[in-house]
Structure 1
Amino acid sequence: MSVIAAAQETLSLADQVLAVADWLTLHVTVWVLVGTGLLLTIASRGVQIRHLPSMIRTVTASRGGAQGGISSFQAFTISLAARVGVGNIFGVAAALLMGGPGAIFWMWIVALVGMATAFFEATLAQLFKVRASDGTYRGGPAYYMKLGMKSPALAAVFAVITVVTCAFVITSVQANAIAGTLLSALGDAGANPIDTLFGLTPAQLVIAALLFVFSSMVIFGGIRTVARVTEWMAPIMAVIYMVLVAVIVILNIGHFGAVLAQIFTSAFAPEPLVGGLGGGVLAALVNGTKRGLFSNEAGQGTAPNAAATATVEHPVSQGLIQSLGVFIDTIVVCTATAFVILIAGPDVWGAEGVNPANLTSMAVANELGQWTILPMAVLVFVLAYSSIIAAYVYSETNMTFMTRAKWATWLVRVVSVGSVVLGALVSLDLVWNTVDIAMAVMTVTNLVALVWLSKWGLGALRDWEAQRKAGVAEPSFVGVDNPHLPGDVPTDVWATEGTR
C-alpha cells in the first residue's frame, strides 16, 4: 500500500471515529451529562448558585494548611491547569466553526449544571481518598467506585480507561496542538500529514525536543512537583490570557449586546444564521456540549483525581473550589474567547486556511495587530503544557489505584513523556477524534457513580452547612458516627478531627 493510500485510509478511519463520537455525544453524553447535573442541582438546592460567594472565599484562603502535603489551592490549580488549556482556545474555535455562535449557549448550559457535578465528584473524591506512601493523598472515581459503590470491577474499568486516555491520548493531543500552533506562527507549517512521518523539519524537531525537556523535568519529579509548578503557572497563564482578551472586549464593548443576541438566536435556529460559521440547533447542541465537556471536564472524572490530593479540613471545601473552577473555565474564559472570535467577523471566520488551531490567534491579531501571533503561540504552549502535566497526575493516580509497584508509576511517566514527543511529530487526526469517545465512556461511567453515591455528597454538604449555620468559620469533618452520612466513611482518613 502506498503512503498516500495509507494516509487516505487513516483519514477515512478518523472520519468514521468522528461520526461515532458525534453520535455518542448527541444520543448519550449530552443527556446523561445534563440530566445528572440537573438532578444534582435539584438535590443540592442549587449548591453552585447558593454557595458561589463561599466558593470565592474558600479559594482565596486555600493556600495554607497543607502540613507538608498538597494544599487545597495546589490541587485546585492542577485541575485548573487541565481545564484552562487548549480547550479554551481550540475548543471554542471548533465549537464556533462547526456549531455556530449558538454552541456557546450550550457550553454555558453544560457549565452551569456541570458546576453541581464538579462539586459532587470533588467532594466524593475527598470523602473516599486514601493515604499514599509519600504522605500525600490519592483518590478519584476509581476509589469512590470501589469504596463507596463496592464495585471493584467498575473501578478497574474506569482506572484503565483513565490511564490510557490521560497518559497517551490527552498528552499527545495537547502536544500536537502546541506543535501545530508554533509551526504556524513560525511559518513552518507546510508539511502535510503524509510527509510529517518522514520529512520532519528542524522546527518540528526543536519543538519536540523542548517538549521532551520541559515535560520530563516535571513529570519525572512526580505529583508534588506538578503541584508546585501549577500553583503559580495556572493562575498566571489564565490572568495573562484574560488581560489580552479583556483589552479586545473593552475596545469593542459596544458590540457586546449584539454578540449575546447572536449566541442566543443561533442556539435555537434550525439553520445557520451567520456566514462563515457552521450552525443550526443540532450542530450547536452537539458541538457546544462536546467542546464544553472537553473544556471544563465537569463530570468526566479527571478533575476529582486532583481534588483528592488536597489536604483540607472538610471535603465540601474542595468541592466548592472545584465547582468554581468550572465557572472560571467556561463562563469566564470560554465566553471571552468566543466574544473575541465573533467580534472579528466573517473576514476572519471565512479566511482561507482558517481552522480551530489558528482561528483564535487570527481573531486576536485582527483586533490588536500581527505582533500578537507569536505571543499567542507561546501562550498556547504554556496552556497545553500545563494540561499535559495535569493529565499525567490523573494517569498516575489511577495507575496507583491498580498497583503501587514503582515500575508501574515510572511506566506512566515514561509513556506520558513519550506521548508528548509523538504528538509533536505526527499528524493525530485519529487521536483527536478518539478523545471524544474516550471522554464519553469515562463520563458515563463516572456519572453513574455520582448518582449512586449522591447521598454521601449531600450528607457531607448538610454537615458543612450545619456547622456554618452554627457560626463555625472553618467547618471540620469526621466520617465516623456522623448523623448526616448514610454510614461511616470506609477509610481511616476522616476517623478523627483535623486537617487531612
Structure 2
Amino acid sequence: MDMDQLAVLVSDISGFVWNNLLLYLLVLTGVLFSIRTRFVQVRHLGTGFKRMFGSFSLNGKKADHEGMSSFQALTTAIAAQVGTGNITGCATALASGGPGAIFWMWLSAFFGMSTIYGEAVLAQKYKTVGEDGHVTGGPIYYIKARFKGGFGTFLAGFFSIAIIFALGFAGNMVQSNSIGDSFHNAFGISPLIVGVICAAIAAFIFLGGVKRIASVTEKLVPVMALFYILGCTVILVINHAALIESIKSIFIGAFQPQALAGGIAGVTVKEAMRYGVARGLFSNEAGMGSTPHAHALAKVKKPQDQGIIAMVGVFIDTFIILTLTALVILTSGALSTGATGSVLAQTAFNQAFGQFGSVFIAICMLFFAFSTIIGWYFFGEVNVKALFGKKAVKIYAALVVVCVILGSSLKVDLVWNLSDLFNGLMVFPNLIALIALSGVVAKMSHEDH
C-alpha cells in the first residue's frame, strides 16, 4: 500500500468516525447537558457576557503557578477555537451543504454551549497541582477521577496521546499551512519563509510558559476578533441589498434546500445538517476536550463561574465569527462560482474589497491560525507533562516548532487526514467521562452562580 492509498484509507476511517458516530454523539451530549442543567446556556449566557466585559483587560495580572485570570483562560480557549475553521471550514460547509448548513451550525453550537459548560466546570472541580507546583487540569484529570484503576488510566492515556498528536503536531501543521498558503496568494511570499518566521515567534512564546501564553492571548484575541468583525461589517454594509435574502436562504436551505434558486444542486437536508453540525463542532471544539485545559487554570471562586464564561467562547466563535463569514460569502454571490474552501472565502472578500480581499484574508488567517497554534501547543503541553514529566516539555516544544515550519510549505494528505482522525479519536474518552459525570455538572449548575 503506497502513501496515497493509505491517505485515502485514513480519510475513509476518519469520515466514518466523524459522520456516523461523533456527529450524533456530540449533539446528543449537548442535548443531555442542556436538559440536565435546565438549559444553562439560556439562563446564564447574559451573566457570562457581563463577567467577560467586567474582567476585560489587554494587560491583566500575570499568570503564575496558581493559574491565570478568568479572562485570560477564556482568551486562551478562544485562541484555539477561532482558527482556520472560521474561514475555510465555514466556506467548506456552505459549498458542500448549502446556506442551510449555517442553521444546523447554530443549532449544534446552541447545544454545544451546555457541553462546554460541563467541560469547564469539571476541569475546575478536578484540577490539581502538578509536580512542578503549578496548577494543572483537563480531561485526563476528570477521566481518572471518574474511572479508577486500569480503565481510567487507559482512557486518560489514550486521550493524552491523541490530543498531543491531533493538535500539537498534525493540527499545528494544518494551521501553519493555512498561513503559508494565504500569504503566498496575497503577497507571493514563499510559504517556507512565512513558516520559519511563525515558528520563531511561536518558540519565543512557548519558552515563556503559561505566563507568556496568557499574556499574548489576552492581547491577540480581542484585537483579531475586532479586526475581523469590523472587516466583515464593512462588507455587509456594502452588500446590504442582499443581506435579507441571504438570511432567508439560511432558514429555507435548512429544511428545503432544493427550493433555493441558484442553490447547490443535489444538496439534501441531511447534507446541510451533516456539514453544518460537523464544521460547527470542529470549529468551536465543544465536547472535544481541548478547551478545558485553559478553563482549569482560571482563578475563580466556584467551578460554575468558569463554566458560564466558557459558554461565551462558543457563542463568539459560532454565532459571531462563523456567522459573519457565512453572511459575507452569501451576500457576495460567490457561492455560485463553484469555488470551495479558502478560495471561496477569498472570492467573497475580493468581491467587496478588490485585491485587498486577499490581503485581508491573509492577515486574518495569520491572526486566527497563529493564535490556534499557541492554544493547541498549550493543550498538548499539559498532556505531555502529565504523561512524561516536565523534562519532556522542551522536546515537545521543539517538535511543534519543526511541525510549524514543515506544515507551512508541505501539504501531505496523509498528515491532514491523520489530524482529522486523531481529532475524532480524542473526543471518545472525553465524552465517556462527560456523560458519566453529567450528574455532577447538573447538581452544580442548579446551585447559585
TM-score range, shorter chain: over 0.9
Return the match for 1:26 from 16, 19, 24.
19
TM alignment of 1:230-245, pairs within 5 A: 230-245=217-232
- Partner SS, residue 47 of structure 2: helix
Q: What do you get for the CA RMSD once the two structures are aligned?
A: 2.1
Q: Which moved more, 1:313-322 or 1:149-158?
A: 149-158
Deviation readout 1:290-336 (Å, 9 max, x if unpaired) = 21122100000000011111111111111111111001100111011
Aligned-pair identity (%): 37
1:398 corresponding residue in structure 2? 383
Residue correspondences, number: 440
Matched letter for residue 349 of structure 1: L
2:236 corresponding residue in structure 1? 249
TM alignment of 1:121-270, pairs within 5 A: 121-132=119-130, 136-150=134-148, 151-187=152-188, 203-269=190-256
Return the match for 1:422 from 386, 403, 406.
406
Q: Is the 8 A contact 1:219 1:417 kept in 2?
A: no
CA distance in 1, matches of 2:133, 2:50: 27
1:280 corresponding residue in structure 2? 268
Alpha-carbon spacing, 1:389–1:17, altered in 2? closer, same or farther (3 Å): same
- Partner SS, residue 357 of structure 1: helix
Which protein has the larger Cα radius of gyration, Structure 1 or Structure 2? 1
CA distance in 1, matches of 2:96, 2:418: 18
CA distance in 1, matches of 2:62, 2:125: 17
- Partner SS, residue 358 of structure 1: helix
Q: Is the 8 A contact 2:84 2:369 kept in 1?
A: yes
TM-score (normalised: structure 2)? 0.92
Alpha-carbon spacing, 1:184–1:12, altered in 2? closer, same or farther (3 Å): farther
Matched letter for residue 204 of structure 1: P
Q: Is the 8 A contact 2:165 2:422 kept in 1?
A: no
1:349 corresponding residue in structure 2? 335
Alpha-carbon spacing, 1:45–1:66, altered in 2? closer, same or farther (3 Å): farther
- Partner SS, residue 318 of structure 2: helix
TM-score (normalised: structure 1)? 0.83
Q: Which moved more, 1:70-79 or 1:242-251?
A: 242-251
1:106 corresponding residue in structure 2? 104
CA distance in 2, matches of 1:292, 1:160: 24
Return the match for 1:14 from 4, 7, 32.
7
CA distance in 2, matches of 1:102, 1:67: 42
Alpha-carbon spacing, 1:44–1:373, altered in 2? closer, same or farther (3 Å): same
CA distance in 1, matches of 2:214, 2:375: 9
Q: Which moved more, 1:204-213 or 1:296-305?
A: 204-213
- Partner SS, residue 313 of structure 1: coil
* Runs (5+) with no aligned partner, structure 1: 1-5, 189-202, 469-500
Q: Is the 8 A contact 1:139 1:308 kept in 2?
A: yes
Q: CA deviation at 1:123?
A: 0.5
- Partner SS, residue 178 of structure 2: helix
Q: Which moved more, 1:252-261 or 1:64-73?
A: 64-73
Q: Is the 8 A contact 2:100 2:257 kept in 1?
A: no
1:472 corresponding residue in structure 2? none
Q: CA deviation at 1:103?
A: 1.3
CA distance in 1, matches of 2:437, 2:281: 22
Matched letter for residue 98 of structure 2: G
Q: Is the 8 A contact 2:235 2:328 kept in 1?
A: yes
TM alignment of 1:19-98, pairs within 5 A: 19-62=12-55, 68=64, 69-98=67-96
Alpha-carbon spacing, 1:289–1:314, altered in 2? closer, same or farther (3 Å): same
Alpha-carbon spacing, 1:65–1:374, altered in 2? closer, same or farther (3 Å): closer
Q: Is the 8 A contact 2:74 2:295 kept in 1?
A: yes
Deviation readout 1:33-58 (Å, 9 max, x if unpaired) = 11110011011110000111111112
* Runs (5+) with no aligned partner, structure 2: none
Alpha-carbon spacing, 1:446–1:254, altered in 2? closer, same or farther (3 Å): same
Matched letter for residue 244 of structure 1: G
Matched letter for residue 328 of structure 1: I
Q: CA deviation at 1:369?
A: 2.1
Q: Which has the higher helix share?
A: 2
Q: Is the 8 A contact 1:185 1:374 kept in 2?
A: yes
Q: CA deviation at 1:434?
A: 2.9
CA distance in 2, matches of 1:114, 1:139: 21
Q: Is the 8 A contact 2:166 2:420 kept in 1?
A: no
